[in-house]
Amino acid sequence: MTDVLDRFLRYVKIDTQSAHHSETYPSTLKQLDLSRLLVEELRELNLEDVKLDDFGYVTATLPSNVSHPTPTIGFIAHVDTSPAASGKDVKPRLVENYDGGDIVLNHEQGILLSPSDYPEISQHVGETLVVTDGTTLLGADDKAGVAAIMSAVATLVQNPQIPHGKIRVGFTPDEEVGAGVDHFDVPAFGADFAFTMDGGPVGELAYENFNAAGAEISVHGKSFHPGDAKGKLVNAVQVAIDFHNLLPVFDRPEHTEKREGFFHLISLSGEAEQADMEYIIRDHDRQLFEGKKALMRQAADYINQRYGVGTLELHLKDQYYNMLEKVAPHPEILDLARKAYRAIGLEPVEVAVRGGTDGSRLSFMGLPTPNLFTGGYNYHGRFEYLSVEELKLASQVIVEIARLAA
């Protein structure tokens, strides 16, 4: 097995699931189990300035091995896995020379990874895949990125004949719960620009992502015995349903693709007296994004006009913005990535990400940070898998970026 695969298999067995609504940072202390391991491995590679700070950020420096000035480049990945599926007791398994058919993930439970459900897997015939046992996610998002960076750094250390400038490495917690760079010190990191290794299919080069907001809604009802409720009962759950139905039916994730934005109801709970809702709002276009937020405010105003002032409380909060706005003024960063891809035989596939990365916020914090592929698929669920060949290429891209920039 290659170094990058060994690292990946080691990392995914560590439970690093983050948590929404936590009062700590990181949101779960178990994320630090991987962070501490990475500190040990970086020190074993003799990197400088290896640090695990109070917020759970791991940073380190690979000094330049050339005498002329070069840009300082950062490579960043996140250690946490999504709260959407269990990350405990992950049991990765290799499927060598994949034949294109169904992959039995779990015999006892009859769980299959099938091309009839996930047709893109047919593109990996002949490759080695890493899959789950069907009871947890795999954690390629983003331990594939962590492994790619660590393996690339090891390659540069072990091959001093490869020229490179100063490289800064960063591993963050809590990306999956939208807090990955809440405390990240961009000036202290000291990179001129960076790349997050947090993408998916081979060749993907992403420098455009959603504008994002979250909405928390509280509905205050009036409960009465249903036999005596006429003209008195205000059922908070029904009001919540009425609010939801005011939003466009076809502006939901299940009806959208490419650069189409959406409203996504991620939770609804309650009873007659009180109901609570959470939404995420997404759009690549800033004007359309602002329009979606305005539409949600109008829906809230209508509900309060219909049921009484204060019935529905809406709290909107922007989460991140489209990095294109901050990356586009630096075309040399994207040109460097394109040259690195082509140097290893890949043609860049430039996509608008239907999501966000740490790089989205870092770009607005003064560190332009496009996103590169890692070779993972079906993130955040038990059908997640990784192409080993694509993971190796992701690590090679990092080495090529470092070499070409020197």
Residues with active-site annotation: 80, 175
DSSP structure class, residue 248: -
Give CA–CA dist 185/166, Å, rounded.
Answer: 18
**Tokens read off for 75:** 């490579």
Secondary structure in 3-state letters for 111-137: EEECCCCCHHHHHHCCCCEEECCCCCC
For tokens 């890692």, name the residue. 374
Give Cβ neighbours of residue 190 (< 8 Å, ≥ 6 apart): 72, 168
Q: Give the residue carrying structure tokens 């405010």.
A: 297
Distance CA(91)–CA(80), nearest Å, equals 17
Tokens of residue 309, six digits: 């002032």
- What's the token pair of residue 162? 């490869």
Closest CA to 358 of 216, 180, 98: 180
For residue 169, report the phi and psi dihedrals to the nearest 5 degrees: -110, 140
Report the C-alpha gap between 406 and 349 in whole angstroms: 25
CA distance 294 to 392: 45
CB 90 within 8 A of CB 12: yes
For residue 178, which of 147, 148, 205, 209 has the smallest C-alpha distance? Answer: 209
